[in-house]
Structure 1
Amino acid sequence: MTTATGHTDAIAASRVIGTAVYNTSGEKIGTIQDVMLEKTTNGIMFAVIGFGGFLGMGEKYHAVPWSVLDYDEGQGGYVVPFTREQIEAAPADSIDALTRGDGEKSRNAAYQYYGVEPYWH
């Protein structure tokens, strides 16, 4: 099956991790570091986006709802409808903290911050 944008429904996580993330202005804002899966519903809770830093120092990690990421073949990466400033102001933490407690706290904060309708409602 294909999505509304013509992409397939399925993709290997190994192909997603390491992929660049851009805003709608074409500015690279980070890289997907991981994805959090929800085992009970077989859904993707959020992508963990690494943002900022240099050579692994000072990098921030953000939970971004998976539903807002749209792969753009021309960019060779995912595009999100947020500005750099919105991403910088978003809740950020370590990868360990983002995934603690099954990631629910980070998931809820991300969906609220970005104003995305929760998939579990």
Structure 2
Amino acid sequence: MKTVIFICGLYNIAFALFHFGFWKIFRWDNDLKKLSFANRGIMQILNIQISYYFILTAIICFVFPKELMTTKLGNWFLTGSSIFWLIRTVQQFIFLRANHYKIHVLTVIFLAGAILFALPVLS
């Protein structure tokens, strides 16, 4: 299960890198100008904060795999992370209702995150 937790860390690093790329991927330099000052700032702040969360989660997975597997706090952390990805999966169907392969791929990836973080707790 230590390998699974290590993969959970890599998974979160990948999402941090993906989120760091949002400015370029989604052309935020142009598109965010269409939003109000507050909403433009909120979008960028939320993106930076979620990137921080992903990096912190990865570090915890890399540094404390034994504790994550063997303590109540560790199991709660893994369960909470699994639920985070499960909720993110559900949000795909609420906010991104479109029949597009990229959305379907992301849905599968989010569901994989929910499963990855649940595995050590369920084993």
| Higher RCO (CA-CA < 8 Å; seq separation 6+) | 2
Per the TM superposition, whether the score is higher than 0.5 is no
More strand by share: 1
TM-score, normalised to structure 1's length?
A: 0.26
Q: Which structure has the larger Rg? A: 2
